[in-house]
Amino acid sequence: MERRHFIASVAALSTVRSLLLAANNTQSSIGICTFSCHLQWQAARSKKEITAFANASSFFDYARTLGADGVQTSFKELDMQAAKELREKSEREASTLEGDIRLPKSKSDLADFEREVQVTCEAGAKVARTVLMGGRRYETFRSRVEFDDFYAQARQRLELVEPILRKYRLKLAFENHKDLTLAEQLTLVKKFSSEWIGVLVDTGNNIALLDDPYEVVEALAPYALSVHLKDMAVQPDPNGFLLSEVPCGTGFLDLPRMIAVLQRSNSSLVFNLEMATRDPLKILCRTDGYWTTFPERRSTHLDAAMKLVKQNPIKKPPPSINGKSMDQQLAEEEANNRASLSWMHDQMG
């Protein structure tokens, strides 16, 4: 089958599935988030490569050809008319749209945040994802005091935006993003009684903080507003271990178990694929610097984490991009996303 005919048939099947989902909302929708296509986004922004999309609207079209029901992405660069047109297209196809919004750092940023909420709502999103920080805590903070300041500010930033979220009726899901341990995330989300603030549950991120992934999903599920579904692989390393996203069904996570837990808590969740095609991350948990912000966990979590690594040898080499051409990177990213979405459709109906 020629590629253009294959893409057209996949898009048609995805549209049919979305219409069925609209008629029978007992099934969960399957989306794809921006970072699953981060190499395509990088190439598009550099304007040095021919890419499959260039903005939120064309990303939506591309995701549909992959077989996703919709996307989770930022609509910040769209004007209101373009956002409206995307919403209308999404409604015609009975697909899903979720936002991706950056929190304001202070009151002076609230006007920009409100404008982004407005365009996100105009695009038709009812839920938006956010993160408290972009980096990883063990690579960012050099003292416990630095982390404590960040943690206090995170609560203040969420308190700042709650009235805006309530005004526009947009639910904000803050992700477990290699920044907070499970206990810290639970403490923070419990500070809010608002229906407009909850959690995006990422099925793999907290492995980097040595939390048990199943405990993370079970504990955060009652607060879940959205999901990043990913499978993971681990490899031994002298300074700790290597951590990789791998196509769904090829890693060590029991994803059907996780999906079932999350669906029981919130049947309307969108499961957004996050399949990051990149080099393995180095989790340097055998070095002193890793423990700077939570030294008490060294005696309680290190042995269990290393046991998990030993018990889960990789099934095949995980993704890597080092030394590969951009064309090869983009091709492998697309192949990993297609394989993962296919697995999700098979498992989730």
DSSP 8-state class, residue 51:
-
d(CA 106, CA 220): 27
pLDDT reported for residue 24? 43
Model-level pTM?
Answer: 0.91
Contact present, 170 and 100 (Cβ < 8 Å): no
- 3-232+245-279+322-348 folds as TIM Barrel (3.20.20)
Tokens representing 41? Answer: 């986004």
The ranges assigned to domains in the chain are 3-232+245-279+322-348
Q: Rounded to the nearest 5°, which phi and psi values hold at 44?
A: -65, -40
Tokens representing 272? Answer: 């957004």
pLDDT reported for residue 28? 84
pLDDT reported for residue 51? 86
d(CA 10, CA 29): 16
pLDDT reported for residue 109? 97
pLDDT reported for residue 349? 76
pLDDT reported for residue 318? 97
Q: Report the alpha-carbon angle 292-296-299, nearest 5.
A: 110
pLDDT tens sequence across 284-328: 999 999 999 999 999 999 999 999 999 999 989 999 999 999 999
User: pLDDT under 50 in the chain at which residues?
Assistant: 1-26
pLDDT reported for residue 12? 45
Q: Is 278 exposed, middle or buried (0-12, 13-18, 19+ CB in 10 A)?
A: middle
